[in-house]
Amino acid sequence: MHPPSRLLRLSAPVELLSLVVLLVNVAFLHQEAVASVIGPLHGCAYLIALIAAAREAGPDRTVTLLAVIPGIGGMFALRRLTAPARTAPH
């Protein structure tokens, strides 16, 4: 299996980090400016990770289904793509 694309490797962590920033802002900071900047960034990172995962998935559609999970789906898809292939027990 080939390594995941650079697009997925960059967008998945941005998706997760931006979600963390948004949640911290909602919980503690309550800064409208942070939400107005990070919110669209998170949305774009989510869509880019989803599209990149769908392009990488090939016959394994589990990667695409994992990428649909908001916030952490990109990281799950990335992990699934980089995990060593499992063999069936004999």
Residue 44's pLDDT is: 96
Residue 2's pLDDT is: 72
CA atoms within a 13 Å half-sphere pointing along the CA-CB vector of 37:
5
pLDDT of the chain along its 90 residues, tens only? 578 899 999 999 999 999 999 999 999 999 999 999 999 999 999 999 999 999 987 777 899 999 999 999 999 999 998 888 766 566
- Three-state SS string over the chain comes to CCCCCHHHHHHHHHHHHHHHHHHHHHHHHCCHHHHHHHHHHHHHHHHHHHHHHHHHHCCCCHHHHHHCCCCCHHHHHHHHHHCCCCCCCC
CB 8 within 8 A of CB 86: no
Residue 4's pLDDT is: 87
Residue 1's pLDDT is: 59
Q: Which two tokens stand for residue 55?
A: 């392009």
- Answer yes or no: pTM beyond 0.85: yes
Residue 84's pLDDT is: 80
